[in-house]
Structure 1
Amino acid sequence: MISFEFSQDQKQFAKVLRDFSTKELLPHYTARAASTEFPYDAFGKLGDLGVLGIGLPEKFGGTGEEDPVLLGLATEVLAAGDINLASAPIQVGLVGSQLLHSSDEVQERYLPTLIAGKETLAIALTEPGSGSDASALRTTATPVEGGWRLNGEKTAISWAMNAAATLVYARTPGTTRSQGVSCFLVPMDAPGVGRRQMLGMGCLPIGWGSIHLDNVFIPHSHLVGEEGRGFRSVMSHFDFSRAAIGLMCLGAARQSLDEAVAYSQQRETFGHPISTYQGVSFGIAEQATLVEAARLLCYKALWLRETDQPHTSLASMSKWWPPQVARQAIEVAMRIHGNLGYAAEFPHQARYRDVMAYLVAADGSAEIQKRIIAGDIYTRGTVGY
């Protein structure tokens, strides 16, 4: 029998996070979303709650074994209060899972502070000439005595402006495509590292930016994973982050729909609450249906990962479709609120802009996800599972 029930531990954890999201995050979301300042105080509180260590070793402050469903649940719940801060468990999970394949020196230096919410780390894969085609990256890692010299530019990097260090993907000179790509832990205060802020229409607190590497020396101890296999490593981790991103966007959308439900019961026209008109209530019904369907898709992808079953295709489905569902739901909520939905002092416009980022960036565009899905379908010869 299939069960859609969360465990008691998961329910209890979600309740704690829901209280925090409602009382601590939601009241200040609009102000934070309009600022480029990284919310270190709120990030530290996430560390105190244990939400940043899901699936990471207990000796560094984590919860232990990988728990994709719990990570997705935490992200969804937090996004109702602040979608930007809700990205933190995903980012930490992506970085932390890769650092587990680094030296003891690197793990002991960065994992405890990352899990505690005291420092942030970025992931630098995208380049000006290789966005979704990440295997075409041109940043080089030239072997030298004691390590490597890194040269190149990374762009559109989340957390670039606040990161203490960055996972940089670079290739050995002379290699092509995914061959020869390695991952390196680069301290942002290392000589030759520069960064520049890139302002987007949303996700301002995340610190989107570009990173420049000018003959940066990286010692052998800062190699993450196997030399020449860094690209394959990061691609495997994207399978859980893509589903979690889908839930993050849906969590923000559900909050906007809940606010639209409450508003429509209070706002009256022609002597009746606008909730009594089908033009309003049917819109809520339609978006609630789509959100629930997209939500189940994301959780199935995470469940498949948890049970060690193939899930790359569903992870890609979870990345391209749920953010679109979320954007549409938020737009409907904005229209129900009328001019208040468009007003900068209310959260809908901020959520709309923040969700838009995940339609065009972060773990691959919709077109790349569809390419992955289509490839899987034609390999298997069926759209069924």
Structure 2
Amino acid sequence: MVSFAFEPEHVEFAESLKAFAARELLPNYRDRAASTDFPFEAFKQLGDLGVLGIGLPEEFGGTGDDDPVLLGLATEVLAAGDVNVASAPVQIGLVGSQFLHCDRAVQERYLPSLIRGEETVAIALTEPGSGSDASALRTTATKVDGGWVLNGEKTAITWAMNASASLVYARTPGTSRSTGISCFVVPMDSTGVTAHHMLGMGCLPLGWGSIHLDDVFVPDDHLVGEEGRGFHSVMSHFDFSRAALGLLCLGAAQRSLDEAVQYAKDRETFGKPLTEYQGISFLIAEHTTLLEAARWICYRALWLRATGQPHTALASMGKWWPPLVAKDAIEAAMRIHGNLGYAAEFPLQQRYRDVTAYLIADGTSEIQKRIIAGDVFRRGTVNL
């Protein structure tokens, strides 16, 4: 029999995070979201709760075994309190998985502090001329005695303004497309590294920015994994982050819809509560259905990853559709609240702006649809 139940330990952990999100994150979400300061206090709290070490080695303070379902569940639950803080487990999961292929000394330098929530590391892949087409990046890594020299520009980089280091993807001169791309750990205080802030309509605390590299020397032991294999490595890890980010958006949307339901119960017009009007009740029913459907696409993708089965197409489904479903649900919640939904003093408008970022970030809808279609054309179906 097919089971859709979470493991008991997953449920217990999620309940503790749910209480934390309601108690610690939600009350100050709007204030944090209006600031460009990275929320290190909340980040450290996640470290104390063990959220940032999911799937990372116990010797560095992590949980040990890879558990993408637990990571997705933690992300969804935390997003009900604060969309931006909730993205931290996903980012640390991506970064940490890359550090596992580093020199031991580099692992010891960064992994423990990342898991404790004491510092951040950015992923510098996207470039001005190669947004979703990451394999077209132009940043170069030229081999020299004792290491490499990097030159280029990265843009729209999460944590660019608060990171102690970045995982920079660069290609050997003369190579093209996905071949010849390597990954390097680049301390942000290295000579030749500069960062510039990029303000968006939301996600302000995430410190999006551009990173410029001008003859930046990186020693040999800061190479991540195999030379020329950096692109393939990061792409495989995006399969879990895409589904997790879908759940992040859905967690924020579910909270918004829950608030709309309560408001509809309490608000009366023409002598009866809003729940008595089909225009409201049907709207809630429709978005509840869509959120539930989108949620299980994401969890199925993470379950497939956990069981070692192909999941790239499902992960892409979890990245393009759930953020759209979430955005629409939050918009519906805003309309149900009337003028209060649009007011800056309430969190609905903030969630709308923060969630909208994920229609673009980490791969646009169009790129995800190309991946899904390619899988269908190759295998005939995505069903297992």
Pairwise TM-score range, normalised by the shorter structure: over 0.9
Residues 1:228 and 2:240 aligned together? no
Provide the rounded CA distance (Å) in 2 between the counterparts of 1:35 and 1:343. Answer: 17
Give 3-state SS (helix, strand or coil) of 2:320's partner: helix
Residue in structure 2 matched with residue 24 of structure 1 by the alignment: 24
Q: Quick one: which amino acid aligns to residue 95 of structure 1?
A: V
Provide the rounded CA distance (Å) in 2 between the counterparts of 1:324 and 1:37. Answer: 27
State the 1:148 CA deviation.
Answer: 0.2
Provide the rounded CA distance (Å) in 1 between the counterparts of 2:290 and 2:381. Answer: 24
- Contact 2:313-2:382 within 8 A present in 1 as well: no
State the 1:383 CA deviation.
Answer: 5.2
Residue in structure 2 matched with residue 333 of structure 1 by the alignment: 333
Provide the rounded CA distance (Å) in 2 between the counterparts of 1:382 and 1:104. Answer: 42
Deviations, residues 239-271 of structure 1 (Å, cap 9, x unaligned): 000000000000000000000001111111011
Percent identity (aligned): 74
State the 1:343 CA deviation.
Answer: 0.3
Residue in structure 2 matched with residue 173 of structure 1 by the alignment: 173
Residue in structure 2 matched with residue 197 of structure 1 by the alignment: 197
Provide the rounded CA distance (Å) in 1 between the counterparts of 2:218 and 2:167. Answer: 12
Deviations, residues 70-123 of structure 1 (Å, cap 9, x unaligned): 000000000000010000000000000010000001100000000000000100
Q: Quick one: which amino acid aligns to residue 327 of structure 1?
A: K
Residue in structure 2 matched with residue 153 of structure 1 by the alignment: 153
Deviations, residues 185-209 of structure 1 (Å, cap 9, x unaligned): 0000011000000000010000000
State the 1:275 CA deviation.
Answer: 1.2
- 1:25-40 map, 5 Å: 25-40=25-40
Provide the rounded CA distance (Å) in 1 between the counterparts of 2:76 and 2:57. Answer: 23
Residue in structure 2 matched with residue 285 of structure 1 by the alignment: 285
Contiguous gaps of at least 5 residues in structure 2:
none
How many pairs are equivalent?
384
State the 1:8 CA deviation.
Answer: 1.1
Residues 383 and 241 (structure 1), Cα distance of their counterparts in 2 relative to 1, 3 Å cut: closer
Provide the rounded CA distance (Å) in 2 between the counterparts of 1:194 and 1:85. Answer: 25
- 1:1-385 map, 5 Å: 1-361=1-361, 363-382=362-381, 384-385=383-384
Q: Quick one: which amino acid aligns to residue 238 of structure 1?
A: F
State the 1:382 CA deviation.
Answer: 3.1
Give 3-state SS (helix, strand or coil) of 2:63's partner: coil
State the 1:65 CA deviation.
Answer: 1.0
Provide the rounded CA distance (Å) in 1 between the counterparts of 2:211 and 2:91. Answer: 17
Residues 95 and 383 (structure 1), Cα distance of their counterparts in 2 relative to 1, 3 Å cut: closer
Provide the rounded CA distance (Å) in 2 between the counterparts of 1:276 and 1:371. Answer: 43
Provide the rounded CA distance (Å) in 2 between the counterparts of 1:342 and 1:30. Answer: 13
Give 3-state SS (helix, strand or coil) of 1:308's partner: coil
Aligned CA RMSD, in angstroms, stands at 0.6
Provide the rounded CA distance (Å) in 1 between the counterparts of 2:97 and 2:127. Answer: 23
Provide the rounded CA distance (Å) in 2 between the counterparts of 1:175 and 1:41. Answer: 43
Q: Quick one: which amino acid aligns to residue 8 of structure 1?
A: P
Deviations, residues 332-366 of structure 1 (Å, cap 9, x unaligned): 000000000000010010000001100012x2110
Contiguous gaps of at least 5 residues in structure 1:
none
Give 3-state SS (helix, strand or coil) of 1:303's partner: helix
Q: Quick one: which amino acid aligns to residue 350 of structure 1?
A: Q
Residues 383 and 60 (structure 1), Cα distance of their counterparts in 2 relative to 1, 3 Å cut: closer
Q: Quick one: which amino acid aligns to residue 183 of structure 2?
A: C
TM-score by length of 2: 0.99
State the 1:25 CA deviation.
Answer: 0.1
Deviations, residues 43-93 of structure 1 (Å, cap 9, x unaligned): 000000000000000000000011000000000000000010000000000
TM-score by length of 1: 0.99
Provide the rounded CA distance (Å) in 1 between the counterparts of 2:379 and 2:363. Answer: 23
Deviations, residues 290-317 of structure 1 (Å, cap 9, x unaligned): 0000000000000000000000000000
Give 3-state SS (helix, strand or coil) of 1:291's partner: helix
Give 3-state SS (helix, strand or coil) of 1:265's partner: helix
